[in-house]
Structure 1
Amino acid sequence: MRILYLHQYFNTPEMSGGTRSYEMARRMVAAGHEVHMLTSYREKGYQSDWFTTNEAGIQVHWFPVPYSNHMSYGQRIKAFFAFAFAARQKALSLEGDIVFATSTPLTIALPGVLAARKHQIPMVFEVRDLWPEVPIAIGALKNPIMRFGARWLERWAYRHSSSVVALSPGMKQGIVSTGYPASRVAVIPNSSDNHEFQHDQQAAVAFRSERPWLGSRPLLVYAGTFGKINGVGYMVELASALQERGSDICFLLVGDGQERPAVIEAAQEAGVYEKNMFFESVIPKREIPALLSAATIASNLVIDLPAARANSANKFFDSLAAGKPVLINHGGWMHELIKAHGCGLAMWETPVEKVAEELDEKLHDSVWLDQAGAAAKVLAEQEFDREVLANQLIQVMETTLEGDPSRAAEIAPGNYSY
């Protein structure tokens, strides 16, 4: 297949952020397919037009559209449409057998559908978040006209997709609720890179030795975006509760985003900043294995909204691959997985004082840590291995191209044991 792969926020391992598209696309190349990735170049001032690089055999076409989580919602929407317009022109100029467009943002469907129409080829649409439910829930889309337009665009995207890939069972439910056929929706979550995330004791020792404040203290890590949906301020409350208990557990929050200054300010006001809570800037994806090797437990956070419970965050699957227990503070399928498999602490609707008590107990219990870590790795290998899920994605695309999109749900049903 010659695949036109559209993803506005494609990252390589040398960049910070999720690398799902990179990992999936390079496996498509390894399977003998030709992949043209259309994406945005987010740095300022270095480029002014399309340019192409080869990343692990993927032909990556970059177009400069600055973007960051520090932008206002209005600025972000402008960036979404700027890239959609540019990607439309580029996609129309490239030949392909199938279009694969991955959101967010939802506007990626515009160039995807138009390219599929022009070339008279099928489109597979991947849904990474339930748009527009999530931005509406957090107040990012307040204008009634914009809400109507976003909901119309969502249904338009589904209507023009031969098949759809959802990143969680909850996302599939949301898609099917719009009237889209369930048989044409595959569930292929974010994945665990089990080879890359093997525990590295040497890297763990080096990581800790470079941070005098850490030493041998138990370490809880959050590595991700400081966005409104993430609710990272929860960590400040938890650090404060642990400090009151006299616990030696410390927190390392790695990342950037619109809410980061507010979280740092809250940590300072709570008296935990650089005492048991520390902050570091974003790091490339290739450095995350060392970070997780040094961690005692990892975390996945979102604010408690029904629309957010279907999330499929990369950090959760990276943590499983690293064989680390995961602390989670929200409901949904990940919460149920942790409870069922004993691979962490499922703390939805639990008072922060109780969470602190559980953490203080479990992070000083070597037997529990070993058992939970082993359970995490088993889950990563048996349910979420990247090689298996990438092969499912390729099968969905191949059967869609062959004119049999209704096999999508059969190939990747998303039936997980809770």
Structure 2
Amino acid sequence: MKKKVLVITQNFAPEIGSAANRMERICEILNEAEAVTVFTTEPQYPQRAIYSKDKFRTSSSSTGFIIKRVKTRRYATEKNLFFRFLLYLEVFIKLLLAIRREKQNFDIVLATTPPLSIPLVALFAKRKFKAELVLDVRDLWPESMQIFNHFIATIARRSSYWIERVIYQKADRIIVNSEGFIPFIREKVGESKEILFSPNALMPKEFYSKRIFNTKEFFKIVYVGNMGAAQDLDSFILLAKSLQDHPHIRFQMIGYGADYARIRKRINDERLWNIEIRSPEPRQKIIEHLKSADIAYVGLENIPILHTVIPGKIIDYMGSALPIIGIASGYSKKIIEQARAGIVFEEKQIMAIKKVLLEWASHPEIRFYHGENGRAYAEKHFSWELNQSLLNKFVVGDDDEEKSHDVCLERVYK
């Protein structure tokens, strides 16, 4: 008999970003064996206005499960932390009321964090439905708020540690998308609780095995994703500026975030003709842009909490057979080097990156080596298809000890 699974998430398709994509894929996997109901918000990340466009309306493939949405006010959350926390509060209240009114019973509650307000709603649902709670941790909150140099973030972070501990302890099982989170969570919950490492991953159609590495009229370095406090994109711009005497080398940025407007203004003010900056695109379009690029850039600020993460863009780059160059430390650097998928520096060594980039531009065989290594690693370790059985068993609490064929990087830590 199918178990009823309630999924609570602030971000869901057709929203862009790794959070919405991850939750959509998890729900699709669970719904193959269980009955899934999703409680979420109307599409609003990064800006509500973009979802009035047809290309975003048709970007989601979610079918076969129930989606219940709450509508919130419009907030300018990208630049204003106060409004962002107001949004979290409103979503918390409205989801709480929606679940309070819900007549259906559930066996499992799956909630994803951040923000911490979502698992707080899930604690209420766990008690109401007498259900098991599975917590999906995509980032360490409130620790990751260290990247914001703002008194509101400082107050929120210092006042939230006890909430974080309670949430981890009340969860029956925990999923993480980075192995770097596990030691930290273990300090909060002890050694007995099961933790599943289930990284962000790709669907079969998102892998690209037909890339041709040769010389072209234009050579493109691409960056996709968030443009905010955690990302080192000034180095990307300086790199482009230093290569303006190589007109065949072009740079492309596609994304959103608190620094998007500042970066666009800087590109225009400094007349950086070799950088194209584009507004947010649906995931399918992003994959197409990656397939037409030659090199992918990753840039992470050297902040200790960021050493535990692997951004979803790195997995997308690898699946697209793109050699990776840039600046990263910790877990992200470890995975890229382990896969031999590219070269990343821990410091902002613009001239060193420029030297590598010029070498790659004139040597397609080097790009082929790193790109194919990354794709092969992603197919082995970052595939939703290969991991779906283990993920489903973990969420529903299947105690079957029979070995799963779905190994990848997914592991249950006990």
Aligned partners of 2:78 and 2:84 also within 8 Å: no
Among 126, 131, 156, the alignment partner of 1:116 is 126
Aligned to 2:396: 398
Q: Against the structure 1 CA distance between its residues 5 and 219, is the aligned structure 2 distance closer, same or farther, given a 3 Å change threshold?
A: same
Q: Relative CO higher for 1 or 2, CA cutoff 8 Å, sep ≥ 6?
A: 1
Aligned partners of 2:143 and 2:157 also within 8 Å: no
Aligned partners of 1:198 and 1:289 also within 8 Å: no
CA distance in 1, matches of 2:122, 2:282: 29
Aligned partners of 2:169 and 2:189 also within 8 Å: no
CA distance in 1, matches of 2:51, 2:249: 43
Aligned partners of 1:223 and 1:255 also within 8 Å: yes
Aligned to 1:382: 380
Aligned to 1:234: 235
Aligned to 1:25: 27
- SS of residue in 1 equivalent to 2:204: coil
User: Match for 1:77: what amino acid?
Assistant: F
Alignment of 1:37-48 (within 5 A): 37-41=38-42, 42=44, 43=48
CA distance in 2, matches of 1:287, 1:414: 34
Displacement, 1:90?
2.0
CA distance in 1, matches of 2:274, 2:61: 43
Alignment of 1:15-414 (within 5 A): 15-18=15-18, 19-30=21-32, 32-41=33-42, 42=44, 43=48, 55-65=62-72, 66=74, 69-92=77-100, 93=102, 94-140=104-150, 142=152, 145-181=155-191, 183-198=193-208, 216-243=217-244, 246=246, 248-272=248-272, 275-399=273-397, 412-413=410-411
Aligned partners of 1:325 and 1:344 also within 8 Å: yes
Aligned partners of 1:135 and 1:141 also within 8 Å: no
Displacement, 1:328?
3.7
Aligned partners of 1:116 and 1:122 also within 8 Å: yes
Q: TM-score, normalised by structure 1?
A: 0.85
121-130 or 260-269: which moved more?
260-269
Aligned to 1:3: 5
- SS of residue in 1 equivalent to 2:243: helix
CA distance in 2, matches of 1:68, 1:378: 41
Displacement, 1:251?
0.8
User: Match for 1:58: what amino acid?
Assistant: F
CA distance in 1, matches of 2:148, 2:40: 26
Q: Which runs of 4+ in 1 moved over 4 A?
A: 44-47, 140-145, 199-202
Displacement, 1:227?
1.5
CA distance in 1, matches of 2:10, 2:187: 26
Aligned to 2:404: none
CA distance in 2, matches of 1:139, 1:350: 21
CA distance in 2, matches of 1:54, 1:89: 28
Aligned partners of 1:191 and 1:385 also within 8 Å: yes
Aligned partners of 1:327 and 1:344 also within 8 Å: yes
250-259 or 262-271: which moved more?
262-271
CA distance in 2, matches of 1:87, 1:403: 34
Aligned partners of 2:8 and 2:39 also within 8 Å: yes
Q: Which runs of 5+ in 1 are unaligned?
A: 48-52, 205-214
Once the two structures are superposed, residues 215-245 of structure 1 have per-residue CA deviations (whole angstroms, 9 ceiling, x without a partner) of: 831111111111222232221111122236x
Aligned partners of 1:39 and 1:63 also within 8 Å: yes
Q: Which runs of 5+ in 2 are unaligned?
A: 53-59, 402-406
CA distance in 2, matches of 1:121, 1:85: 21
Aligned partners of 2:76 and 2:83 also within 8 Å: no
CA distance in 2, matches of 1:177, 1:355: 38
Aligned to 1:212: none
- SS of residue in 1 equivalent to 2:257: coil
User: Match for 1:129: what amino acid?
Assistant: D
RMSD, matched Cα: 2.9
Aligned partners of 1:199 and 1:289 also within 8 Å: no
CA distance in 2, matches of 1:149, 1:155: 12
Aligned partners of 2:146 and 2:153 also within 8 Å: no
Once the two structures are superposed, residues 111-162 of structure 1 have per-residue CA deviations (whole angstroms, 9 ceiling, x without a partner) of: 1011001111110111111111111232255466533321121111111101
Aligned partners of 2:253 and 2:277 also within 8 Å: yes
CA distance in 1, matches of 2:190, 2:209: 42
Displacement, 1:184?
1.6
CA distance in 2, matches of 1:144, 1:255: 27
CA distance in 1, matches of 2:50, 2:208: 38
User: Match for 2:160: what amino acid?
Assistant: A
Displacement, 1:303?
1.5
Q: Against the structure 1 CA distance between its residues 378 and 258, is the aligned structure 2 distance closer, same or farther, given a 3 Å change threshold?
A: same
Displacement, 1:315?
1.3
Percent identical among aligned pairs is 21
Displacement, 1:414?
7.6
User: Match for 1:160: what amino acid?
Assistant: K
Displacement, 1:20?
0.9
